[in-house]
Amino acid sequence: MALKQTLNLKMLQKLSPQQIQLMKLLQVPTVAIEARIKEELEKNPALEEGRDEEEDEFGAEQDQYSDVANEQTEAEKEFDFSDYQDDEPAYKYTAKNHGADVEDKSMPVSFGKTFTELLEDQLDMQDLDEGEYLIADHLIGSLDESGYLRREVSAIVDDLAFTQNIFTEEAEIRRLLSIIQTFEPAGVGARSLQECLLLQLRRRKERTVESLTAQAIIKDYFEAYTKKHYKKILEGLEIDEIALKGADEEIKKLNPKPGNSSSTGKASQVVIPDFIMEIQDGEFDVRLNGRNAPDLKVSRQYSSLIEEYQSSKSKPDKKKKEALLFVKQKLDNAKWFIDAIKQRQNTLLYTMETILDFQREYFLSGDETKLKPMILKDIADIIEMDISTVSRVANSKYIQTPYGTFLLKTFFSESLTNSDGEEVSTREVKKILQEAIDGETKKKPLTDQSLADLLKEKGYNIARRTVAKYREQLNIPVARLRKEI
């Protein structure tokens, strides 16, 4: 077969670097966008944080920069006379005299000892020799975040022999584990939920009838208790419902995860909203979080190098050409990044305003039953953008409203038709389902079929399996596990 050369014309759609950058930035939440901007500032010296003064004055970004001589140099900006003045107190310069409309961008971070460190402090107060201390310390390190020892004792013996060259017996491991189980918080070092609850009950100083009955239930009828088989417990212990109810209240006071009872070892996880919405005279006032809209500008110092090259009459050598090529590349990247951030902000605001208009009745009242069915395509058609763009906007984004802070994804729901032929949101059905379960008689909770019949009476013709699906999405257990004494 002979080789031939042919010329073909093809139409290909390729994304520009700026479009790729925008798509990546669009799905990033507020917390991550700060880190992404800091990374770009460290990587690109031509990018600086702050407002461009020329842009504020003329209302548009200019490609060519001038009046370099009148601009402050970086050394002048970093120079602070207060560093060389010791005669005046520093507290005069740290007064919080800003107005109420100035947004506080600081994030509180809590510090403290971890759960392991708290246990090791208690271990230091025990009278143990070096070998016993090392074994006990290994046991503490083997506890999971809930405070349980999930590993078998025989496996721990092998771990000590292979990793620390410590040879011991299972009986010694159990003895040292019993010492750890006396530490605070109560229940730590347990090997199962049953043992954890028993450790806490046995630690009680007051030996009441309720606590003793609770111990008997956890020790001998734990499986029946977890499965709500109260009749079996009543017959086995020969007690009445009043005694069982008192023991049940004692058990519910216990902590099933003692490792998580100490919050000093973990920083508080704070949800930072991407949007802040307020209602003024029946109209929505939505804005981006200050962390989400930083001021960025192109470095004057780097742009002046291009101007010097353009005004220079001498022909640059090879090294100077390479330097100028590097500067031009960094300037282009800085402009691309600034444009991507601005376009991200515009897209986020435009999409959020559209969602507010679509769900106007809900956002004005805060009543979940007024949520209209809304899918990604509905918003994408209105803003004339792709569904993937709306999906990236709704991904991991939160909005702060007068009724609380919500994830944007929760406002999107499918629709179903009621008995009147109207389309309603599945969120509305879930709200009614939640209210029905909250108001049920706990001695005889509503089954999925009963809930389906109740919804049918309200005009929502939903099958039992659909009710079960909605119930699971609301993290509500089945009727048997909701039963109370």
Q: What is the pLDDT of residue 320?
A: 74
Tokens of 70: 């009148």
> For the stretch 199-208, what's the b/e string if a residue is b when 16 or more beta carbons lie within 10 angstroms of its beta carbon?
bbbeebeeee
Region of poorest pLDDT, from 24-28, 44-48, 107-111, 465-469: 107-111
**Confidence band, pLDDT 50/70/90 cuts, at residue 48:** confident
Q: What is the largest CA-CA distance in the chain?
A: 105
In this predicted model, what pLDDT tens digit does every residue of 159-208 receive, in sequence order?
A: 888 888 888 888 998 999 999 999 988 889 999 999 999 999 988 877 88
Query: What is the tens place of the pLDDT at every residue in 216-235?
Result: 999 999 988 888 888 888 88
pLDDT digits 0-9 by tens, 279-293 = 988 888 988 887 656
- Please answer whether residues 172 and 128 qualify as being in contact, where contact means their C-beta atoms are separated by less than 8 angstroms: no
Tell me how crowded residue 380 is: count the other CB atoms within 10 A of its CB: 18
Per-residue pLDDT tens digits for 437-448: 888 887 788 888
Q: What is the DSSP annotation of 384-416?
A: T--HHHHHHHHTT-EEEETTEEEEGGGG-B-EE
Measured distance CA(6)–CA(393) in Å, rounded: 45
